[in-house]
Amino acid sequence: MAFTQNAAVQKASLAVVNGLVWPPRRRATAVAAMGDRILAAGSDADVRLLCDRHTRVIDARGGSILPAFNDAHVHFLMASRSLSELDLYGAETQVEVERRITEYRAEHDGPWVVGRGWFYSAFPGGMPTTELLDRLVPDRPAYLESFDAHTGWANTRALLATGVESPGVLKEAAMLGVTRRIPARTRDQDLEALRAGMRVAAEHGIGSVQEAGEGQDQLELWEALREADELTLRVRLAFDMVPGLSAEAWKERLDLYDETVRAHRTNPWTSNGILKAFADGVVESRTAAMLEPYEGTAELGAPLWDGNELAHAVRAADAREWQVQVHAIGDAAVRQALDALAATTRDRRHRIEHIEAPSPLDIPRFAELGVIASMQPQHAEPNSNLFGIWLPNLGAERAAYGWPWRSILRSGAHVAFGTDWPVVPLDPAASLHVAVTRQTRAGEPSGGWLPDQRFNLAEALAAWTWGGAYAEHAEDQKGTLGEGMLADIAVLDRDVVAVPLSELPEMKVTATVVGGRVVYES
């Protein structure tokens, strides 16, 4: 909203000037905030009229002034913990994986070697072996998760220490046999991890995150940080929705969740009201649920809910006014999720997460049912993992519908973007680049992979700001820089509208404001 006469009678506690407000509007080069709310957006001259000697002024130096990014799907606590662990993300070859493991083991003397991030494509045949990890870490238990967190790689010492008799490569629920026995972190360690994660978020202009699961176990941590006035971002916590419960057991679980919500009332920093379910696994390990077998196999993947079980559970949650988000990657899982959501309340804004390989027949149903498509562009980066494992598992015909965010948007549905951190880095700039180019950072392939699914930059920015807010029923509070909205602002080092698309990954955040407070400044 532009500068108004009403705003002129008040003084700003914060002003961001000498920039370009996004979305572009006439003469809007600055934003003023009073307390935790936007006071006005207008020209530098307009906004400076609202300033006095007490106003904190940030010079955008010609860069863009945007609503702070809202990551609609993230595993923030898990990712924050991983910041102090072995990082294998981006290692393209087995040689590089081995080098990182060897160096980490030499530099860390803890009782376990724990880490994550390996690509399936780094290993011959798409999977590592227990024998390899035994050689690299012979002296203590080791457990390393794949980049997508759906496959675990354990050495023999880890299997013996946890009593797991399965092979050292564990898929889906089998991973719990090891992960539940890894030495637990203390509460203080988790609080420190969250502080480290919030610093990463602030450096990338992120003002809100939506935690995709296990939220009921994290409430106390986030509330402790809020009470200590340490929060530098807003978090929405999804509670777990699991298969295998009877109708009565699910009712009791919902009763418990309702009581938890009453005890932890929503506030501008911490909120809930949403449930997270998994419908399947991932394409790389062939655990995503497919309508037809994986290429060259008889495997259909692993649907996690039997028959109409998901539909019954969703309807019970919907009747209690819970929003539901369903992880669904394979075409069978996406269809099962849409079928389950078909008889629910449209205004609840239920969501499907990821949507990697849907049937083209199901794409129009998102708009028809009012289901939000929550997608993570970096998953579609056309790298060695996509071309070496993901695409061959599906075959070219099904892969041609990979991550169809343009088709979903064109059908009239709402799209919200995020990262799924730690699956990929917490980096909106990298996400925007993939969303608008369908290329790697190196510009490959020429012209982009499935280029008809590219967003334009305005659409991608909207999915990262207003789209995320809409997905959490908060578009009246954040996602735009209008008068009266929460003062959550990201300042970029260049004009995002004018920057060449190839330079999008190089954009840096120069300042992040959340609730009218500067939480990061370069």
Segment 453-475, tens digit of pLDDT = 999 999 999 999 999 999 999 99
Distance CA 430, CA 35 (A): 31
Ramachandran class of 414: left when φ > 0, alpha when ψ lies in -120 to 50, beta otherwise: beta
Q: What is the pLDDT of residue 9?
A: 66
Mean pLDDT for the stretch of residues 83-93: 96
What amino acid is encoded at 364 in this protein?
P
CATH 2.30.40.10 range(s) for the chain read: 7-62+484-521
Mean pLDDT for the stretch of residues 147-163: 94
Mean pLDDT for the stretch of residues 253-275: 94
Are 216 and 239 within 8 A, CB to CB?
yes
Mean pLDDT for the stretch of residues 342-351: 94
CATH architecture of 71-75+185-471: Alpha-Beta Barrel (3.20)
- The SS3 assignment for 320 reads coil
Are 243 and 269 within 8 A, CB to CB?
no
4 against 139, higher pLDDT:
139
CATH 3.10.310.70 range(s) for the chain read: 85-179
Confidence of residue 26 (pLDDT cuts 50, 70, 90): confident
What are the residues whose beta carbons fall under 8 Å from the beta carbon of 128, sequence distance 6 or more?
94, 97, 118, 122, 153, 169
CATH architecture of 85-179: Roll (3.10)
Mean pLDDT of all residues belonging to the chain: 96
Distance CA 514, CA 234 (A): 8
For 337, the token pair is: 């999720």
Positive/negative CA dihedral, 155, 157, 162, 164: positive
Report percent pLDDT > 90 for the chain: 94
Bridge partners of residue 274, in order along the sequence: 238, 323
Q: What is the pTM of this model?
A: 0.95
pLDDT at 8 over 70: no
For 19, the token pair is: 């920039």
pLDDT at 5 over 90: no
CATH 3.20.20.140 range(s) for the chain read: 71-75+185-471
pLDDT at 99 over 80: yes
- The SS3 assignment for 317 reads helix
What separation in angstroms does the CA of 23 have from each of 66, 341, 457? 8, 33, 11
For 128, the token pair is: 């590592």
Confidence of residue 1 (pLDDT cuts 50, 70, 90): very low
267 against 63, higher pLDDT:
63
How many other C-beta atoms are found inside a 10 Å radius of the C-beta of residue 456? Answer: 12
CATH topology of domain 7-62+484-521: Urease, subunit C; domain 1 (2.30.40)
- The SS3 assignment for 213 reads coil
278 against 266, higher pLDDT:
278
Mean pLDDT for the stretch of residues 447-457: 98
Mean pLDDT for the stretch of residues 476-499: 97
What would the pLDDT profile of 173-189 be if each residue is shown by its tens digit? Answer: 899 999 999 999 999 99
Instruction: Please name the residue ranges forming H helices in 358-427.
Output: 365-369, 384-385, 391-394, 396-399, 405-410
Report percent pLDDT > 70 for the chain: 98
Mean pLDDT for the stretch of residues 494-504: 95
CA 488 to chain centre: 18
pLDDT at 190 over 70: yes
Tell me the residue ranges of DSSP E strands in 30-106: 30-34, 37-42, 56-59, 64-67, 69-74, 86-87
pLDDT at 230 over 60: yes
Q: What is the pLDDT of residue 10?
A: 84
